[in-house]
Amino acid sequence: MDVISVIRKKRDRGRLTPEQIDWVIDAYTRGEVADEQMAALAMAILLNGMSRPEIARWTGAMIESGERMDFSGLRRPTADKHSTGGVGDKITLPLAPLVAACGAAVPQLSGRGLGHSGGTLDKLESIPGWRASLSNEEMLRVLEDAGAVVCAAGAGLAPADRKLYSLRDVTGTVESIPLIASSIMSKKIAEGTGSLVLDVKTGSGAFMKTLDDARELASTMVELGNDHGLRTRALITDMDTPLGATVGNALEVRESVEVLAGGGPADVVELTLALAREMLAAAGLPDADPAKALADGSAMDHWRRMISAQGGDPDATLPSAREKQPVMVPSSGILTRLDAYAVGLAAWRLGAGRARKEDPVQAGAGIELHAKPGDPVTAGRPLMTLHSDTPEKFQYALEALAGSYDIAPEGTEFAVTPIVLERVGE
């Protein structure tokens, strides 16, 4: 086998054989295939796609590149959730302790930012002392104590995906359905959770821009999971508008704590509860009431235990950006559009994301939204506020936001798009 032949075959729209897939994943993991060669193959896959058998074999090869975890010794049923990524998507933060408060164990392996989409680990690392990297033994201890853990996949879990995940972020190959599906499902299957709920986002701020693409990705992942004995279902959710009122790492942590305290934006609460109900049903706990766990403070208790168990201080002051700049409303009326991709790109330019896989992120950078579609706005008042430690980046963020919103005259009728669009699976 040689990697040039594999690249050329996919470049020319051919189907890779199982042997070619097994070889290239193994060789890349060992370093025999260079990053630039795998980047070329990833681009060929992005442009020409993969058949279902190819995706299944690619996923299997990613799983077999490392170890598998086992949570069968836990006293609770296990349930996990994965989002395909969006703008302002901080749902994992309140969701994991909420589901834990309802009786399930949540072994949540999360990732870092991809392009304009924020990363759960980047958000949580804005909490002083919090650690993303845990050994398997530490992960089990946190699960036993707090009922939920959010951490990075260990070096031994799907190491091929660990390398490819970072490479996709900086080579323009994030949006490939085969690579998204295999990346997510290889980790989740190897993780050993008993059930999985997928939040597949669609819209301008999602990697799946159309509902048809979101359906294809959701059905591909549900089939991959169920074929491997992992009870899997999916919700397709809207990502034309940023989720919640903040975009950025520490900003989104603050908002998540507000949700756990019984407040927070209505759309974040709605989606958190919808996903919690799906996870609890998949875990065999359909009668549990997540709304009650938010109201009575038990979800907040599990959050504090989870953060403390991973070295974080749940009472610590979160980082704030050194500089702020408001973006003013140009005319009074009704906000009818706020483009999620533009807001995500602007937050990325402010320092909330990374341009290279080794780049740091600014914990305090991001955007605070003062209105959402359907809200009345007043000329001369802030529509949003930009946060950054590097004020020279404000201009680049403003360029990204040009044309990102529409304001209609007062009295214009406006129908808000539902958060949950469709359901796939059981």
Predicted local distance difference test score (pLDDT) of residue 114: 66
Q: What is the pLDDT along the chain (426 residues), one digit of tens a residue?
A: 899 999 999 999 999 999 999 999 999 999 999 999 999 999 999 999 999 999 999 999 999 999 999 898 898 999 999 998 899 999 999 999 999 999 999 999 888 876 677 789 999 999 999 999 999 899 999 999 999 999 988 778 889 998 998 898 789 898 899 999 999 999 999 999 999 999 999 999 998 999 999 999 999 999 999 988 899 999 999 999 999 999 999 999 999 999 999 999 999 999 999 999 999 999 999 999 999 999 999 999 999 999 999 999 999 999 999 999 999 999 999 999 999 999 999 999 999 987 766 678 999 999 999 999 999 999 999 999 999 999 999 999 999 999 999 999 999 999 989 999 999 997
Predicted local distance difference test score (pLDDT) of residue 227: 87
Predicted local distance difference test score (pLDDT) of residue 395: 97
- Cα 256 to Cα 196: distance, rounded to the nearest angstrom: 22
Predicted local distance difference test score (pLDDT) of residue 122: 94
Work out the burial of residue 270: count CB atoms within 10 Å of its CB; fewer than 13 is exposed, 13-18 middle, 19 or more buried.
middle
- Which domains does the chain show, CATH number per domain? 3-49 (1.20.970.10), 80-316 (3.40.1030.10), 323-408 (3.90.1170.30)
Would you say 247 and 87 are in contact if contact means Cβ atoms under 8 Å apart? yes
Predicted local distance difference test score (pLDDT) of residue 307: 98
Q: Which residues are catalytic?
A: 82, 161, 168, 183, 187
Give the C-alpha distances (Å, rounded to integers) separating 57 from 20, 198, 250: 10, 21, 39
